Every structure is written in C-alpha cells, then in structure tokens.
A and B are shown apart, each in its own frame.
Chain A
Amino acid sequence: MLVLGIESSCDETGIALYDTDTGLLAHRLHSQIAMHTEYGGVVPELASRDHIRRVLPLTETCLAEAGKAIADVDAIAYTEGPGLAGALLVGASVANALGFALQKPVVGVHHLEGHLLSPLLAEPAPQFPFIALLVSGGHTQLMAVRGIGQYELLGETVDDAAGEAFDKSAKLLGLSYPGGPQVSKLADTGDATRFKLPRPMLHSGDLDFSFSGLKTAVLNLVKKEQQEDGTLDDATRADVCAAFQEAIVDVLTRKCLAALKQTGMKRLVIAGGVGANRQLRAGLDDAAKRRRFEVFYPPLALCTDNGAMIAFAGAMRLKYAAADYQFGVKPRWDLASLPAA
C-alpha cells in the first residue's frame, strides 16, 4: 500500500510517500521560519497562505523522486490535529479532494501520534512497549506506549513546553526568533558551571515538568549580568546558554529515568524537535549505558514536523481510513482519546 502523507499543522509543510512493504520512498519539507521571523512568531493566517502554495508542488517532487504517479497512491493521510485550524484545513482540503478524485480512502492523523511513532522509521526500530518523551516547541509529555493507539500520559509540562522555554530564553538573550537552536549552538561554546540555574519540579515526586520558572531565572540572570547598554557580552551570553541547556537536559533526562523506573520498561523513545538537541542525546545515551536501557531517536531529519511521520502513522491506521470525504480538523485533540489500531 502506497500512502501519501500531508502535514500542515503549523509552520512547516511536509509531504511524504510511505510504502507499507518497502518503507519511506520520499519526503519533502518546506519550512516557513524565515517568513515568520520578521513577525517574531508564527502568524497563523500567513502560515495558511503559504501551505496552500506548497502542498501540490512538494507532492509532485515526492512523486517524481519515488518514480510514482498520483494514481499509484492507495491512501492519503493528513494531519487532522492538533494545530492551527486554518493551516490544518489546507492539508485536509487537498487530501480529501485527492481521495475523492482518485476514489481512494483518506485517514486523519493525530500530529503527536506521528511524532511518537517516528522513531519506528529508524533502524533499528524500537519494540513495544516503550516510554516516549515527546519534546518540542509545543509539547513536553512523557507517555507509556504499549502499542499503536495505546498511549498513557504519565506526565506533562504544567506551563511552557521545553522548546518554548528555549525560544523564550533566546528572546531574553537578544537572539532572534526562533532562537532555540541558536541557544544550543552558543551553549556548546559556553561554560555551564559559571551560573547555576534551577531545575524546576525535579523533586516533585511525579512526572510533570515546569519550565516557566527557568525562563524567569534566565531573565533575572540577564538583568544582573547585563552591561551598561543592556546587552550581555558574548562570553556571558554563551555561559548563560550553557547553564540553561544543562538545566533543561538535566530535568528531561531525570524525568525519563523516573518514568522507566516507575513502569519497569527498558526502552525509551525521544520524539519532537528538541529531540535533535545534541546535549540531550549525549546525556540520554550516557544514562542508557549506565542504567541498562535502550534509547531510540527518530532520524534527525524527522525530528521536526514532517510528512513522513504522518504517512507512516496513517499507514498504521488504514483500517480507520474512510471514503466519505466529509472532513474536519481538530485544533485541540487529546492523544489518549485515540482508539487502538
């Protein structure tokens, strides 16, 4: 079965072709980050206007790369939610009309299920059950995953997502939107021991996270260390980044360990944009060796939003694909409400 995947939930248009026999055939991504940078954040209306220009050209590129025609597609998967309603509707409209034209079934995919299952696209793929840390600009969740659609939420952030804390701290440090990746880059050159930042909720006794206090601590540090012109010198800025990243990685790592201990599971899966963070990967790899568990990551290119994870998750849910073409989107959608596949 050849599945076309369409992702348009936020600021990236992702298209992919996944074959249930031979695997991922092609995937393409268009990021809108440059467009939104001038506005200091994602403008939903502009995001939607861009998606509608990108979906078909990216689809054509994927088809050409895979040596397939649109008529070869057996089913179409699209991100039904959660996300920006107007942006989701673009992918949903094209996907359903394509299904209608080709008389092929269409399946709406939960964006976070896409992320959650994306490590299954890597080699070696993890076996169920596993603990999943879903960590991105919009989410920080720990889940027990016992099968497709069998997700138990163990803990989540009570305020900012980890990626959001990166971006907000970047802003406080005078780095332009979206500054998270720049914080990581500067952190590599900084001294993490010069400043000590708090590890919020590390001893809360549960698996929840909180990152807004860390952001406030960064703000206070910036105020204290700033020069007369209100900026930080480069070395100080790098040191703050290093301390900040170490704090986040420390909290994420220790909560993952607690989740493994609590459930007795031996496999950990990391998904979402922050999963590309090098220090996080190093910290988890190190812990995995010491504590004897396995850790799995999606291929680096599939850490951000992408179409491959949507095509793959759709392929896992073909029994829910329908051909009534009566579509809608779910800007808010609880992952735990999904049926087992």
Chain B
Amino acid sequence: MHVASRFPEQVGRVLQGIVGPHGLITDPGRILPYEADALTTRKGTPLAVVLPDSRDALIEVVRVLHSAGLPFVPRGAGTGLSGGSVARDAVVVTTTRLNRILDLDPEDRTALVEPGVITAAISAAAAPHGLRYLPDPASAAACTIAGNIAMNSGGPHCLKHGVTSDHVLGLEVVLPDGQTAWLGRGADGGLDLAGLFIGSEGTIGLISQARVALSPVAASTRALLGLFDGVGQAGAAVSEVFERGLVPVALELIDRATIEVVEASIFAAGLPTDTEAALVIECEGDPRDVEAELRIAADACLAHGAREVRIARDESERLAIWRARKKAYGALGRAAPDVFVQDAVVPRTELSRVLPEIQRIADVHRLRLANFFHAGDGNLHPNLLFDRRDTEQVARVERAGEEIMRLCVAAGGTITGEHGVGCDKVRYMPLLFGPPELTLMDALHEAFDPAGLANPGKMLPPRHGDVP
C-alpha cells in the first residue's frame, strides 16, 4: 500500500509499544474516517492515527514523532469546520481517549480536564454544584475541550460571557519537541502564554491538560422570538437592542431560507415560512431582571417593524424557540448533499448592509444561501448549499466564498470569528495581515516549532519559498 509504505514500520512498532495495539491505526480502511473534519471539502490521508490513552503516552508519542521527524496533526472529535485537523503526509494524534475530568472544585469554581473531554460533559459534571462551563459551541455534545481551545471556539452564549479564551485559566502543553510546560494567564507577572496558545490551532503544540473556569447556572433563562418582514429591519433591531443598554446572553438571526428548510424538516418549529428574518434573543439572571430585559428587547424589535414578538412563557416554549436555530444545520444537511459554512465577522452595524450583499453574491453564482448566525456578535454564518460531486458547482462555491470574505474584511471585519483558519482560510490571511505581521507570526511559530512538525499548512500561509 502506498500509505503504509510511507509510514516507517520502525516508528509504528515504537508507537504501538506506547499506545498498545488498538492505539495505532495504519490500515487504510480504518484511516478513512480521519480524512476530513466536518468541513467535507478539504481532505487528506493521514500516514497513521495514534490514540494515546494517558498524559504520559501523549507526551511520549510526540517525542517519538519529533525524533522521527514526522509531522503530526492534533485532532479531537473531528467536528471542526475549517479543515484544521486534515492531515496530509502527517500522523494524526487523537485525544479522544484522554477524556477524564481530573478534578472539579466547586468552591474554587475550576475544573482540571484532559484534552479529549467532551465540552458538554464539563457542564454536566458541574451541574450538581449549580455550575457550568460557559462556552457552548453548537457541537458541544460531541466536540472536545482541547479542540475548542485550539480554535478558541465560540457559540451563541459567548455574546455576553465571552469565548473559550475567556474561560481557560491555564494549560499544560506538549511542545512540538515533546517538552511540557504549564502556561498561565499572566498572574505570575509573565506573559499571557495560555492566551497565545488558545486559538493557535495546534501549530505550536498540543494540550495535555486544561484548567477551565466554571460559572454559576443562571437563576432564570428566558427567550423571545422576533419575526421580521426584512433582513435589514432585523439587522437594525440587533443594533437597537444594544443601544437600549442591553447585552443579552444570546442574540441569533435566522433568515427565510433557513426557516423554510427547517419547517420542511422533522425539526419544524412552527415559524411562519413567509418571515424574512427571525431574531432569537435570550436573557438570564434574576427572574425580575430577565422580565425587564425581555421587555427592552421586545421594544427594540417592535421599533424596527417586527410583525410579531413571541416571548416564551415557559421552558418548553423557550426550547421551541431555539429549535429552529439549533436544528438549522441538521435540517440543511437534508436539503442539500453539502453545506459550506463561512464564519466571517463584521461590526454589528454593518449587518444590514452586508447581508443583502452576501445574497447578491450567492445569486450571481447561482447558489442557494441560508443564514443563521450570532448576530449580536456580528459573527456571520452564511451557508452555501451544494453538491460536492459537481466540480463546477464546487468552483462556484469557492468563488462566492472568497467574495464574501473580501466583502466582510472590507467592511472592517475578519475572516473567522470562531471556526478557525485551518487549511480552508489560509489563503485569506493576507486580506487581514500585511507582510510584517505575517512575518512576525511565522517567526513566533518557528520559535516553538523550528522543525515545522506541528499541524503543518494550517493557520499561517506558506512562507515565501516554502512548498505549498
């Protein structure tokens, strides 16, 4: 086999000695699931997949790969949306077997976890103490904490509470040469080294342990649904909410195309399909405060022509309001073979201008577009529906994607708010950064990974003269 012949047998034997016979996958048939993450358009065949089951094994695996000069790609649950864990001629190091919560201290409100712990499992373990881990990426039930940390993941409720970086207190990292270090947030008078590591996409090492912050569960959580006859009106209402002094915990927008798909699916949530845009606004805290905040949010919607505002009266109504938003991605999966989701961010007030422009780009390229996203953060998720078997259509998706990126950057925004650069958005990095910034980031990367073994080809564009 071509693949097996490229993975040195000697290294395989050493790795098997560390992780056991079931901890190493070299069989091409069994490697297949590791070819891509949740972004189906980027693929690569790993040389091998290693699944260490202890911290020591993880460190030992990295040391072996480093001395063998083999590039490696860290991987959690493979739910990433930017091709961050795609491995071409590299060994995948999967953390899913390192899934223990090592310590949960309700008084200190911290948890020490292994990298492969499922994000939602931390909140589940903290729940009996009235605590939770706040960041809530859509894939929280499946994704791993180290994957979240590598990408600095967000989620709907990061609007008020902050993204992953705001909830990580310290990291034990395995540098590309196998050395370990505990990195804090600068409380020791040093640099915020954990802050640099968070969002570095596996390019400067792996995470072997993380200490995360836990926060109290809110006394009460309520949501409303605002229905609009125009996306522009909904966008204006988003800004109005903040201008009225409110920072909700979540503020999401769902457009008509999404509503139509959801309502035609088994996830139907009872939204009128002639609605051009719906806002989901959630507030939490003392029930009396939440009541007042919902009133402010409702008024902001009505001030911008909402045709209807539905305030959830109980928990089941709240969950129903969220159903359309949370099941949208799944419903889209039934409407088209493939979905390409973008992750650009624009200043909030640019939403009402940028959204029609994105629609125009999709129209020009004859693509179906569905929007559901974190409007409160200005974090867009335009979804382009396509069929990856149709190469001509894939080419149109790529062109539309690039035009959307250019539009958002020109509006003062950025290319990714929470999914990461991965291998998918590397080509857009020069839209954001000039040569001096790219050169400095290269130098920073090289200081950690002089041999270029850690997740090669991700996040940073190839250096001048490098083979792409």
Bind each other: no
